[in-house]
Structure 1
Amino acid sequence: MSDKKISYEQIANPKSHYGNARASTRHFITQRVSGAVNIVLLALTLFIMVQLAGEDRSDVVELIGAWYIGLPLAVLIAVAAIHMRNGMRDTLEDYMHGKTYDLAMLLNTLFCLLLGALGIIAVLKLVFWG
């Protein structure tokens, strides 16, 4: 984000061009695709959770450790982390500016990366090492 001020007249004029159109389009598409993938994978996860209701821990670990359940779950965690980062980015863009914005975006990215990596590692550990 640049430090150049954008006036109301520039925003209100539909013929003015400001911002990065390519990055904005990529962000828009990423948000929509990750949302659609989340819906599909969360439906699968909900189905699995209903099936496992009342089972003990060993049965749950055994099912999540199956590659056909664990790998889609790891993909869900990755896509959810990407979707979370983009959603939090939208809020940060609205309320923060300058150096505070840069720091908040860095912390947002690191938080989502850490959370996604820990979740994926936990699931893949169950899949590959029991």
Structure 2
Amino acid sequence: MRETVITTQTIANPKTHYGDARASTRHFITQRVTGGFNVVFLALLLFVVVRLAGQDRADVVALLANWYIGVPLAVLIAIAAVHMRNGMRDTLEDYMHGRIYSLAMMLNTLFCLAVALVGAGSVLKIVFWG
């Protein structure tokens, strides 16, 4: 497969199609929505951090065992992982190209998936199984 050379003239010309418009719009909206949810859930996170200041492990487990605290924190971890993946995608698109970009995006996705599964899974384990 022949790779197309993209120049600044190609990008500056409004009649050329550069990139996938649908995917870019979805990425833009996802980044804004996850950012908004992160701001909303930040209030809950701050409440938990202030509430648990100076407490021991038993108090932490007791607070997180409440479903109305633990489930939103698990959702926050998952949403933050999606936001993190999208943010790193922007950086990777700027500095990497070709196969190394594909490899870096795959590793980025796997890392963010692992963070979301381990983080949210750990909180949900406390909520549902103590």
Give TM-score, length-normalised by structure 2. 0.95
Residue of structure 1 in register with 2:121 after alignment: 121
CA drift of 1:42 comes to 1.5
1:85 aligns with 2:85: yes
Aligned-pair identity (%): 68
| Partners of 2:101 and 2:56 in 1: CA distance | 46
| Partners of 1:21 and 1:115 in 2: CA distance | 29
Instruction: State the one-letter code of the partner of 1:104.
Output: A
Give TM-score, length-normalised by structure 1. 0.95
After superposing on structure 2, the runs of 4+ consecutive aligned residues of structure 1 that deviate more than 2 Å are none
CA drift of 1:16 comes to 2.1
Matches within 5 A, 1:6-21: 6-21=6-21
What's the RMSD between the two structures over aligned residues? 1.2
CA drift of 1:30 comes to 0.2
Query: How many residues align structurally?
Result: 129
Secondary structure of 1:104's match?
helix
CA drift of 1:99 comes to 0.6
Secondary structure of 2:53's match?
coil
| Partners of 1:62 and 1:6 in 2: CA distance | 57
| Partners of 1:96 and 1:3 in 2: CA distance | 15
Structure 2: gaps (5+ residues)? none
CA drift of 1:47 comes to 1.4
CA drift of 1:7 comes to 1.5
Structure 1 residues 9-55: Cα deviation after superposition (integer angstroms, max 9, x where no partner): 11111232221100000000000000010011122111121122122
